[in-house]
């Protein structure tokens, strides 16, 4: 029992639409026809997810983030492969639309071989260097566009480091119990409770226990050329303040383990109450606080009333060979005093500081504290005033008293280390003003500005020192929530995400429009010009007309007639101008026939046609095929090739 060959190159005619007894059909099945377009479901879902992730700021953390950072090369390779795959889906959908449209057109109209080649190149897509220029550049443009989807996908799915927001808690100092905050006697071993561990030294007498850090702050308070000077935090946490600390930020690195212990934490922001310290320094020529010798040759007394002195004048003793190197600071000792003033009296070596007076005003304020864990930076910004969290003012009163202890400890027989630190701040201010502005300023103005900066910096640092002692030594703290920023992965940049989403939407619209226009590609037959099997079989059914017409274009020397200029290959050989069309038989089998053959003879004239050894040159002229080449070669002016083949 013989079986018919399963040849599927059919035209979608009415008769061929019916399924034959041998199982052949002219129509594609649903899956074969639409399978390529189903791939757009993948790209649509992914593009929509990327758009939603960008809109709602979705981020990836956890093990995937760690894995991506550990193997960046593998991530890059995966991104390239996925981008190529998703781009292939888009290109395949576009090429299938082109293929379907041109296959339908081919059943209804004739085309030249060059146009057919152009269709093939656009449907693959590929660059055919043998195309005429008018076809080459459109094909080149389509090939270039086929590279765009994969590039856009790469930009849309490439992960890069971003930040995700979560919450955390840390411990803030509490001042409900201030029993440890007081002025301790200066005798050795009686400076109050303290603690030393790997994170630093913490105690309640910063004026005697943090001398080195305070001197550094005083000297660098007017840093040259820095609008926001960076100075280290007074512990071993390696954090630094950018700008003023305002006396807050002590828990950073000490009581934030729940946050800083997370290796993916980039930083956090929290709010803390503290004192906004405003310092105003002036020259007080009528100051009663003065330096005078005593009965002991090396002992000098700094005594006198301050603007806020109560009960009795201030008095303290300083050592020095002749009193010239003494810098003495006086602070009211009475607990009834508001403790707002610092009076300075000096010897001859520091006379520029003599009779200076500074007023300190403490305003209870709520601060925003921003912590950068990657760079170990702390930035503090005041927000608003709040009720006083320490109405008894134990904190501020004790802190200001530390200036007197500090100045006394830093004076020796030959020099005042505190005076030198203040002098460094004044000199830095002088140089910064000269480099930043040409406005004239006096030496007194520079001295007061540098002194103000130093007193402010030391006051802030001592407030931080007391806060650290409350947390680490006294264990007086309260929990506070913080907004934590985690290192995370963000997929794609916004521009690429919107671009790929738009491209995907345009392709979907194009598919829908074509499906509506062609009624679901109802007229699409089984013949596909991209399949060499279909081309060879259909050309074989069409006979030798196309080949004979191509031979007829040859000149006498055996070379083809040049019609067009080529770009990067051989000259135009002329075959591309031959026109062909599809023809179906009673069974719907496809044949590729020459335009102007038997099927077109009644309606088309003047087209070269070869059949049964004859070539038709005109409406009433036919010559044998073996004589046609000689005739055209010898008499090219009388027997010209029809213009249809010269275009």
Least confident of 252-256, 509-513, 632-636: 632-636
Check whether residue 477 and residue 502 sit in a common domain: no
Quick one: how far is CA 381 from the chain centroid? 26
Q: Tokens for 319?
A: 């050592």
In the DSSP assignment, the letter for residue 420 is H
What is the span of the domain harbouring residue 507?
28-158+492-524
Alpha-carbon gap, residue 628 to 552, rounded angstroms: 8
Residue with tokens 């074989």: 540
**323 within a domain of the structure (yes/no):** yes
* Residue 464, CB-side half-sphere exposure with 13 Å CA sphere: 32
- What is the tally of helices (H) and strands (E) in the chain? 17, 20
Least confident of 93-107, 187-201, 359-373, 428-442: 428-442
* Residue 80, CB-side half-sphere exposure with 13 Å CA sphere: 6
Alpha-carbon gap, residue 103 to 523, rounded angstroms: 9
**250 within a domain of the structure (yes/no):** yes
- End-to-end CA separation in angstroms for the chain: 51
- Whether 328 contacts 318, CB under 8 Å: yes
pLDDT in tens, 452-509: 999 999 999 999 999 999 999 999 999 999 999 999 999 999 999 999 999 999 999 9
Check whether residue 554 and residue 426 sit in a common domain: no
Q: How far is CA 464 from CA 408, 468, 488, 607, in A?
A: 22, 6, 32, 100
Alpha-carbon gap, residue 485 to 259, rounded angstroms: 10
Reported as a pLDDT band with limits 50, 70 and 90, residue 623 is very low
Q: How many CB atoms lie within 10 A of CB 445?
A: 13
In the DSSP assignment, the letter for residue 643 is G
Q: What angle do CA 465, 383, 271 make, to 5 degrees?
A: 55
Is the pLDDT reported for residue 253 higher than 60?
yes
pLDDT in tens, 80-120: 999 999 999 999 999 999 999 988 888 888 888 888 888 88
User: Averaged over 405-417, what is the pLDDT?
Assistant: 89
Alpha-carbon gap, residue 343 to 328, rounded angstroms: 8
Q: Tokens for 469?
A: 């002692």
Is the pLDDT reported for residue 374 higher than 60?
yes
Reported as a pLDDT band with limits 50, 70 and 90, residue 605 is very low
How confident is the model at residue 77, as a pLDDT?
Answer: 95
Q: What angle do CA 197, 201, 204 make, to 5 degrees?
A: 130
Reported as a pLDDT band with limits 50, 70 and 90, residue 227 is low
Q: How many CB atoms lie within 10 A of CB 223?
A: 17
User: Averaged over 229-247, what is the pLDDT?
Assistant: 92
User: Averaged over 434-449, what is the pLDDT?
Assistant: 78
**324 within a domain of the structure (yes/no):** yes
Number of domains in the chain: 3
* Residue 224, CB-side half-sphere exposure with 13 Å CA sphere: 9
Check whether residue 75 and residue 87 sit in a common domain: yes
Residue with tokens 């006294």: 474
Check whether residue 580 and residue 634 sit in a common domain: yes
How confident is the model at residue 164, as a pLDDT?
Answer: 87
Check whether residue 143 and residue 284 sit in a common domain: no
User: Averaged over 420-440, what is the pLDDT?
Assistant: 81
Check whether residue 68 and residue 109 sit in a common domain: yes
Reported as a pLDDT band with limits 50, 70 and 90, residue 51 is very high
* Residue 310, CB-side half-sphere exposure with 13 Å CA sphere: 10
Largest CA distance in the chain: 147
Greater pLDDT, 571 or 445: 445
Alpha-carbon gap, residue 526 to 7, rounded angstroms: 9
User: Averaged over 213-236, what is the pLDDT?
Assistant: 83
**501 within a domain of the structure (yes/no):** yes
Check whether residue 363 and residue 427 sit in a common domain: yes
User: Averaged over 167-171, what is the pLDDT?
Assistant: 95
Alpha-carbon gap, residue 419 to 108, rounded angstroms: 101
Reported as a pLDDT band with limits 50, 70 and 90, residue 554 is low
Check whether residue 321 and residue 429 sit in a common domain: yes
- Whether 310 contacts 332, CB under 8 Å: yes
Check whether residue 184 and residue 67 sit in a common domain: no
**314 within a domain of the structure (yes/no):** yes
Going through 190-289 in order, the beta strands assigned E by DSSP cover 194-197, 200-203, 230-232, 240-242, 265-283
**8 within a domain of the structure (yes/no):** no
How confident is the model at residue 304, as a pLDDT?
Answer: 92
**465 within a domain of the structure (yes/no):** yes
In 3D space, the residue among 90, 77, 223 whose CA is nearest the CA of residue 146 turns out to be 90
In a 3-state reduction of DSSP, which class is residue 306?
coil
In sequence order, the 6+-apart residues with CB closer than 8 A to the CB of 259 are: 168, 169, 170, 265, 268, 373, 482, 484
Reported as a pLDDT band with limits 50, 70 and 90, residue 589 is confident
Is the pLDDT reported for residue 14 higher than 60?
no
How confident is the model at residue 340, as a pLDDT?
Answer: 86
Reported as a pLDDT band with limits 50, 70 and 90, residue 441 is confident
Is the pLDDT reported for residue 615 higher than 50?
no
User: Averaged over 420-435, what is the pLDDT?
Assistant: 86
Alpha-carbon gap, residue 519 to 171, rounded angstroms: 70
**167 within a domain of the structure (yes/no):** no
How confident is the model at residue 629, as a pLDDT?
Answer: 34
How confident is the model at residue 114, as a pLDDT?
Answer: 84
Reported as a pLDDT band with limits 50, 70 and 90, residue 402 is very high
Alpha-carbon gap, residue 59 to 322, rounded angstroms: 69
Check whether residue 474 and residue 500 sit in a common domain: no
User: Averaged over 35-60, what is the pLDDT?
Assistant: 94
Is the pLDDT reported for residue 55 higher than 60?
yes
Mean pLDDT of the chain, nearest integer: 82
Least confident of 26-40, 47-61, 166-180, 398-412: 26-40
Q: How far is CA 50 from CA 89, 496, 591, in A?
A: 17, 10, 48
Q: In a 10 Å sphere around its CB, with 0-12 CB exposed, 13-18 middle and 19+ buried, how is residue 418 labelled?
A: buried
- Whether 622 contacts 609, CB under 8 Å: no
Check whether residue 213 and residue 327 sit in a common domain: yes
Check whether residue 484 and residue 537 sit in a common domain: no
Q: Percentages helix, strand, coil for the chain, rounded to the nearest 5? A: 40, 25, 40
């Amino acid at each position: 029992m013989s079986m018919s060959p399963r040849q599927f190159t059919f035209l979608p005619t009415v008769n061929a639409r019916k399924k034959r007894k041998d199982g052949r059909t002219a129509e594609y099945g649903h899956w074969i026809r639409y399978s390529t377009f189903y791939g757009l479901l993948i790209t649509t879902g992914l593009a929509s997810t990327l758009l939603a992730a960008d809109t709602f700021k979705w981020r990836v953390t956890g093990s995937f983030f760690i894995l991506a950072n550990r193997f960046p090369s593998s991530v890059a390779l995966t991104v390239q492969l996925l981008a190529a795959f998703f781009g292939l889906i888009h290109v395949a959908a576009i090429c299938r639309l082109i293929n379907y449209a041109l296959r339908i057109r081919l059943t209804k109209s004739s085309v030249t071989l060059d146009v057919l080649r152009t269709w093939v190149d656009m449907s693959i897509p590929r660059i055919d260097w043998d195309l005429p220029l008018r076809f080459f550049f459109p094909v080149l443009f389509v090939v270039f566009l086929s590279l765009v989807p994969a590039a856009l996908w790469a930009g849309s799915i490439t992960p890069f480091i971003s930040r995700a927001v979560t919450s955390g808690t840390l411990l803030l100092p509490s001042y409900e119990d201030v029993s440890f905050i007081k002025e301790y006697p200066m005798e050795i071993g009686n400076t109050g409770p303290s603690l030393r561990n790997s994170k630093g030294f913490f105690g309640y007498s910063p004026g005697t226990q943090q001398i080195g850090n305070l001197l550094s702050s005083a000297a660098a308070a007017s840093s040259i050329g820095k609008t926001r000077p960076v100075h280290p935090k007074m512990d071993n946490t390696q954090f630094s303040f950018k700008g003023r600390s305002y006396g807050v930020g002590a828990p950073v690195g000490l009581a934030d383990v729940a946050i800083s212990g997370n290796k993916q934490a980039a930083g956090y922001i929290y709010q803390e109450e503290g004192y906004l310290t405003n310092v105003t320094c002036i020259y007080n020529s009528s100051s009663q606080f003065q330096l005078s010798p005593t009965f002991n040759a090396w002992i000098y007394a700094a005594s006198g009333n301050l603007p806020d002195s109560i009960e009795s004048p201030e008095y303290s003793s300083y050592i020095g060979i002749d009193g010239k190197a003494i810098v003495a600071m006086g602070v009211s000792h009475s607990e009834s005093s508001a403790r707002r003033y610092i009076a300075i009296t000096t010897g001859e070596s520091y006379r520029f500081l003599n009779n200076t007076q500074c007023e300190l005003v403490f305003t209870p304020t709520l601060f925003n504290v921003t912590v950068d864990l990657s760079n170990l930076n702390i930035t503090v910004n005041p927000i608003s005033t709040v009720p006083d969290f320490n109405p008894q003012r134990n904190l501020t009163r004790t802190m200001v008293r530390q200036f007197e202890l500090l100045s006394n400890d830093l004076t020796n027989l030959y020099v005042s280390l505190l005076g030198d630190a203040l002098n460094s701040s004044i000199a830095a201010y002088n140089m910064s003003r000269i480099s930043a502005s040409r406005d004239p300023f006096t030496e007194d103005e520079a001295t007061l500005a540098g002194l103000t900066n130093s007193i402010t910096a030391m006051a802030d640092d001592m407030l931080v020192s007391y806060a650290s002692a409350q947390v680490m030594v006294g264990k007086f703290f309260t929990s506070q929530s913080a907004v934590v920023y985690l290192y995370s992965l963000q997929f794609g940049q916004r521009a690429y995400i919107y671009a790929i989403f738009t491209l995907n939407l345009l392709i979907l619209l194009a598919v829908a429009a074509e499906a509506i226009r062609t009624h679901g590609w109802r007229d699409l037959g089984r013949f596909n010009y991209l399949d060499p099997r279909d081309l060879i079989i259909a050309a074989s059914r069409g006979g030798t007309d196309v080949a004979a017409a191509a031979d007829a274009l040859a000149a006498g020397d055996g070379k083809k007639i040049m019609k067009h200029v080529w770009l990067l290959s051989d000259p135009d050989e002329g075959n591309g101008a031959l026109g062909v069309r599809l023809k179906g038989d009673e069974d719907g089998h496809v044949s590729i026939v020459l335009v102007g053959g038997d099927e077109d003879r009644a309606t088309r004239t003047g087209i070269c046609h070869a059949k049964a050894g004859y070539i038709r040159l005109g409406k009433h002229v036919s010559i044998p095929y073996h004589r046609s080449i000689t005739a055209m070669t010898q008499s090219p002016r009388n027997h010209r090739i029809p213009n249809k083949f010269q275009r």
